[in-house]
Every structure is written in C-alpha cells, then in structure tokens.
Chain A
Amino acid sequence: QKEVEQDPGPLSVPEGAIVSLNCTYSNSAFQYFMWYRQYSRKGPELLMYTYSSGNKEDGRFTAQVDKSSKYISLFIRDSQPSDSATYLCAMSAYAGGTSYGKLTFGQGTILTVHP
C-alpha cells in the first residue's frame, strides 16, 4: 500500500464548477500537507500548504486537512479553463527546525476545465 493515495482521474468539469480533489494517507507522522499545480512539461508549483489539521483559504482555493481520517482535500471554486493542470498532493513529517525530511507525493489528478 502506498503511503499517499490520490485518484488519478482524469476529471473533466465545466467552467464555473466546484472541483474537489482528495488524497488519503497512512503515515500518522505527516504534519505538513501541500497541494501543487503542474502544467504540462513544467515543474510543479506549490499552491498551498497546511500545518496539522484545519482549513486554509486562498482566493478560489480551499485546503482541508482531517488528520483523524487521514484525508486531505483541495476545493477550487468557480473553476476556470486556466485551472486545467495536474494537481498533486504531498506530505511531510517536518516538525520545525532545519531538518526538513522527505516530501511524499500522490500520483496526481489530471483536471480539465472546459469552457
């Protein structure tokens, strides 16, 4: 079993829809939870990160972490064609200081938002 599981999709939605992307994980030591967006043939770009449980909002994006269920989500409101990309979740057991440890990634979900 992989440490981080992510449904690869693909996911296709109409413009303006609310998109929900999810990951589950098995390692209880994970403390930092990240979401990345990756356009074709480019490096991933960090969208948001959350420390421990809770919600974080940034514009049209909301990240949620439920450590009791080992489940994280990214919601995209009012989705746009420019949101079409691969979305990757990643997790780390980093607990502060300069010992950052490993980032473990999900498979990535391919999202297409059509006009």
Chain B
Amino acid sequence: DGGITQSPKYLFRKEGQNVTLSCEQNLNHDAMYWYRQDPGQGLRLIYYSQIVNDFQKGDIAEGYSVSREKKESFPLTVTSAQKNPTAFYLCASIGNRDGKYEQYFGPGTRLTVT
C-alpha cells in the first residue's frame, strides 16, 4: 500500500447512523482523495484535498463530509443523508518524490449499512 492505511477493513452500521472512515499516510503527500467503488461503475470521486485545511467536492459529495486538519490524515464521514452508503471506499494520495509523480491507494474499507 506504499504507506497509506485505511481502517477499519470492514464496517457494519445500521441505517441512520453516521460513520467515519480513517485514512492516514506517511508519504508526505500533499493531495489526498476519497473514492467510492461500486460493482461495474469504476471509481467515483467523493472529495479531495490538495492542502491542509482545504478540500473540494468531487462528483458524488452529497451525504459525505471530510476534514483535513493534518497533512497525514483525511477522514471521511458517511452521514445518514447518503442514500446508498454500502460500498467499497478507497483513499488515495498523490505527491512528488525527487521530481517524480507518485500515487498510492490504501487497501480500502468495505462499508455495509443495513
């Protein structure tokens, strides 16, 4: 995973509950991303952040919130307003090492809401 971790690996929640997914990186990467993956739909961007204390909505931000208080951390909260929260959530980071573009994904969190 190249220094980017997500926890937990599996998460089960009841409908109506908010849940927060963790993403941490020790790569000193500036940019961090949250994607959602559903069968047959590829990866869809939820939120991204290019610098601490700043973030932008992706293509499917409704029902989600994020924060970027530290460079290493980019937690995602799935709120009760998200209509179809069950999915595989992937965190990614991008940076530059010795002038070379570098990008890694975390191992993912599989969220099931019943």
Contact = CB atoms under 8 A, between A and B. Distances in A.
B41 A103 contact: no
B57 to A, nearest CB: 11
Interface stretch (B14-22, B62-70, B73-81, B90-98): B90-98
A103 B107 contact: no
A106 B37 CA distance: 11
Interface residues of B, number: 29
Interface in B8-33: 30-31, 33
Interface in A1-41: 6, 8, 32, 34, 36, 41
Interface of B: 1, 6, 30-31, 33, 35, 40-45, 48, 50-51, 58, 88, 90, 92, 94, 96, 101, 103-108, 110
Interface of A: 6, 8, 32, 34, 36, 41-46, 49, 51, 88, 90, 94, 98-108
